[in-house]
């Protein structure tokens, strides 16, 4: 990659995902050092930023949308990001996260907090600390415009590297040469 005059302001976030796709980012290993020359990580589980910043060039989003908090967050991300990359099958289709849709929010809460609970002294859902579940888990593109899709479960590290390299260099890429759904 040529030297970039201005570093890309990069954010990453996981919403309703298992963190496996973020582990794949770390799996780039020594390639992270190469990528780090071209990006400033301004918000991510990897850094200690508390608030999602403005004027982000690229946000990589892992996970589907399962709660009212996820919806608010993805809208905030869209307002403040030039590009959004949906990373992994959960972000793109709902995937594992959307298995809940077979049972509905009430069924999942009933199973998690009552049927399988050893202790629930309040006999109620912890609604003050658990965000409100949506009736249906949604992929990102059903709520906001998504610019790039990178499938896989998890998204493979080499596909993430090739995608980031292409974006840094400002060229298009056929990501299906490197990954596919369920890979
Ligand atoms: S796509 Fe797979 S690895 Fe990535 S967050 Fe979803 S379940 Fe985890």
131 lines ligand 1 (CB under 6 A): no
Full pLDDT tens readout for the chain, 183 residues? 655 568 999 999 999 999 999 999 999 999 999 999 999 999 999 998 999 999 999 999 999 999 999 999 999 999 999 999 999 999 999 999 999 999 998 898 888 888 888 887 777 777 778 889 999 999 999 999 999 999 999 999 999 999 999 999 999 999 999 998 877
Report the atom number in ligand 1 closest to the C-alpha of 63.
5
List Cα–Cα distances, 118 to 100, 106, 111, 114, 123, in angstroms.
Answer: 22, 19, 12, 8, 12
SS3 breakdown of the chain: % helix, strand, coil, rounded to 5? 40, 20, 40
Residues paired with 87 in a beta bridge: 62, 150
Is the C-beta atom of 89 inside 6 A of ligand 1? yes
Neighbouring CB atoms inside 10 A of 112's CB total 13
3-state secondary structure of 142: helix
- CA dist 42 and 54 (Å) reads 10
For the CA of 23, the nearest atom of ligand 1: 3
Does the CB atom of residue 181 touch ligand 1 within 6 A?
no
Decide: 139 in ligand 1 pocket, CB within 6 A.
Answer: no
Paired tokens of 99: 């298995």
Q: What is the pLDDT of residue 20?
A: 97
| Distance in Å, CA 160 to ligand 1 centroid | 14
Closest CA to 111 of 122, 125, 121, 129: 125
Give Cβ neighbours of residue 27 (< 8 Å, ≥ 6 apart).
157
pTM metric for this prediction: 0.93
User: Could you tell me if 155 and 179 are in contact, meaning their C-beta atoms sit under 8 angstroms apart?
Assistant: yes
- pLDDT of the residue at 130: 81
Q: Ligand 1, from 91, 95, 182: best to mutate by most atoms within 8 Å of Cβ?
A: 95
One-character DSSP codes across 160-173: HHHHHHHHHHT---
pLDDT score recorded for residue 153:
97
Amino acid 3: pLDDT: 54
13, 19, 21, 64: which to mutate for ligand 1, most atoms within 8 A of CB? 21
């Amino acid at each position: 990659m040529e030297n970039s005059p201005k570093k890309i302001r990069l954010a990453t976030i996981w919403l309703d995902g298992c963190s496996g796709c973020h582990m794949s980012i770390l799996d780039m290993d020594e390639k992270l050092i190469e990528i780090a020359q071209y990006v400033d990580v301004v918000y991510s589980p990897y850094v200690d930023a508390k608030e999602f910043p403005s004027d982000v060039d690229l946000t990589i989003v892992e996970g589907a949308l399962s709660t009212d908090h996820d919806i608010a967050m993805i809208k905030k991300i869209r307002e403040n990001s030039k590009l959004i990359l949906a990373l992994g099958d959960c972000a793109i289709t709902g995937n594992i996260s959307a298995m809940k849709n077979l049972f509905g929010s009430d069924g999942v809460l009933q199973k998690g907090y009552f049927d399988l609970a050893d202790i629930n002294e309040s006999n109620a859902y912890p609604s003050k600390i658990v965000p409100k579940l949506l009736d249906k888990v949604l992929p990102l593109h059903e709520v906001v415009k998504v610019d790039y899709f990178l499938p896989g479960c998890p998204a493979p590290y080499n596909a993430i590297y090739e995608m980031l390299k292409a974006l840094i260099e400002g060229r298009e890429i056929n990501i299906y040469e490197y990954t596919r759904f369920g890979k």
